[in-house]
Amino acid sequence: MSALMARKVGMTRVFREDGRVVPVTVLEARPCPVVQVRTVERDGYEAVQIGYRPQKKSRLSRPALGHLEKAGAPPVARLVEVPKPADRDVKPGDFLEVSMFVPGEKVDVTGLSKGKGFQGVVKRHGFSGGDEAHGCKSKRVPGAIGQHTTPAEVWKGKGMPGRDGCSKITVRNLEIVRIDAERNLILLKGAVPGSRNGYLLVSKAGGGR
């Protein structure tokens, strides 16, 4: 079990050998350098710290540069921990690449959904709204939110206006349709969270993350 970071390029379609059209999402998964390996003896758990998104040295702090140089890794903008691969041993300075996945394999994709800003109850929760008769001014308002004498309170969890989207979402069991190792591309059947150019965590299905 392992994972790597990828960037959402966009959606397109591919044709299978039998002529069927498959909608796919294209992800660019550049090689992710292994920066640190967590062990049970030292850290109490097993994991691999990887970097992603190349960054200029001038934009990194000296401690961050020292941490990367110690591992022999190039400058990266972010660090993330992923489960340690079960099929091979990795050490600082290695790279996790798209070759770890194969077409037909199922993966889980985690990312942030599109942010929609502050929204009302109709868009955020799907409320039907009030009447739309002549002179009505309560079409998209939540209406009364309180209770009667008993219990005379607003229940916790009541759907109210607020910030919508920008939530961590995991889409499970997406099929890998094609792998382009030369261009570091992964083509997944279906849609994934987030907008174009957003970063995603792609892990083998069944990892519990």
- Condensed to tens digits (0 to 9), the pLDDT of residues 21-39 reads 999 999 999 999 999 999 9
Asked if residue 127 and residue 197 are part of one domain, the reply reads: no
Does any domain span residue 209? no
CB atoms inside a 10 Å sphere around CB 132: 9
Nearest to 199 by CA among 116, 84, 112: 112
Whether the CB-CB separation of 180 and 7 falls below 8 Å is answered with: no
Give the domain range for residue 144.
118-164
pTM: 0.83
Asked if residue 160 and residue 69 are part of one domain, the reply reads: no
Asked if residue 85 and residue 158 are part of one domain, the reply reads: no
Asked if residue 136 and residue 41 are part of one domain, the reply reads: no
Query: Can the peptide bond before residue 151 be classed as cis, meaning omega within 30 degrees of 0?
Result: yes
CATH number, domain at 74?
2.40.30.10
Whether the CB-CB separation of 181 and 24 falls below 8 Å is answered with: no
User: 151-195 pLDDT, tens per residue?
Assistant: 888 888 899 999 999 999 999 999 999 999 999 999 999 999 999
In one-letter notation, the amino acid at residue 196 is R
Does any domain span residue 124? yes
Nearest to 97 by CA among 196, 175, 3: 3
Domain tally for the chain?
A: 2
Asked if residue 123 and residue 83 are part of one domain, the reply reads: no
